[in-house]
Amino acid sequence: MKVLLTFDVEVWCNGWNALDQVFPSSFERYVYGRSAQGDYALPKTLEILNQHGLHGVFFVEPLFAARFGQQYLDTIVQMILAAGQEVQLHLHPEWTDEITTALIPNNQVKRQHLSYYDLDEQTALIAHGKKMLLEAGAEPITTFRAGSFAANRDTFLALQRNGIHLDSSLNRFYPISGMDMRDTHNLLSPLFISGVHSYPVTVFRDGFGREKPAQVSGCSFTELRSAMLNGWHGGQEMFVIVSHNFELLKPDSALPDAIVVRRFEQLCAFLGAQQQRLPTVSYRDCKPVLTEPPRLAMPRASTLATTRRYAEQLLRRL
What digits encode the pLDDT tens for the residues 52-88? 999 999 999 999 999 999 999 999 999 999 999 999 9
| CATH code, domain carrying 250 | 3.20.20.370
pTM of the model: 0.96
**pLDDT (0 to 100) of residue 293:** 63
Q: CA-CA distance, 234 to 245, in Å (whole number)?
A: 31
The one-letter code for the residue type at 243 is: S
Helix axes 70-82, 42-51, angle to 10 degrees: 20
Position 312 scores a pLDDT of 85
Q: Is the peptide bond before 213 cis (omega within 30 degrees of 0)?
A: no
Low-confidence ranges of the chain (pLDDT < 70): 291-294
* Per-residue pLDDT at 88: 98
* Sign of the CA dihedral running 230, 58, 9, 175: negative
Give the pLDDT of residue 294.
Answer: 67
Q: What dihedral do alpha carbons 7, 179, 165, 77 form, nearest 10°? A: -30
pLDDT at 256: 97
Give the end-to-end CA distance of the chain in Å, rounded to a whole number: 37
When divided into structural domains, the chain yields a total of 1
Give the domain range for residue 84: 2-317
Residue 131's alpha-carbon distances to 62, 96, 158, 295, in angstroms, are 9, 15, 14, 37
pLDDT tens digit sequence for 282-308: 999 998 887 666 677 899 999 998 998
- Structural element, H or E, at residue 119: helix 119-135
